[in-house]
Amino acid sequence: MNQEHSGEETVMEGSCCRQKAVPRSEETLKNLKNRLSRMSGQLNGISRMLDENRYCGDILVQVSAVESALQAFGYLVLQEHMETCMVDEVRKGNLKIVEEAFELMKKLK
C-alpha cells in the first residue's frame, strides 16, 4: 500500500481513514461519544420494538429520531472539522481543503 504525506497526516492509499492532525478536546470527545451511545441505545430500542411486534408507525417515529440525531452528530463533526482541521490547512496555504469541505457538506445534506 502506498502512502501519501499531506502536512502532518499520513494517508494510506485505498484507506478511508486518516489521523486527525488537531486533537479533539476531552470535552468534545466525551460529547461525541455520549451522542453515539444514545443513538446506539435508540437503535437497540428499535430492534426490541421489532421483537415485540410493535406498530409500524411507532417504529418509524423512532427511525426518524435516530436519523435526526445522526445528522446532528454529523454537523457537529463538520463544525469541528471546519474550526480546527480546515483552519489549520488554510493557514498552511492548502486551499483544496475548502473543496473537500463542500464535498463533505453534500454528503451530509
What mean pLDDT comes out for the span 86-104?
92
CA atoms within 13 A on the CB side of 2: 3
Question: In a 10 Å sphere around its CB, with 0-12 CB exposed, 13-18 middle and 19+ buried, how is residue 74 labelled?
Answer: middle
pTM of the model: 0.76
Can you list the domains of the chain with their CATH numbers? 27-108 (1.20.58.1000)
What mean pLDDT comes out for the span 8-22?
56
Q: How confident is residue 12, by pLDDT bands cut at 50, 70 and 90? A: very low
Indicate the DSSP class of residue 16.
Answer: S
What mean pLDDT comes out for the span 3-14?
42
Tens digit of pLDDT for each residue in 60-91? Answer: 999 999 999 999 999 999 999 999 989 999 99
Q: How many helices (H) and strands (E) does the chain have?
A: 4, 2
Residue 35 pLDDT greater than 90, yes or no = yes
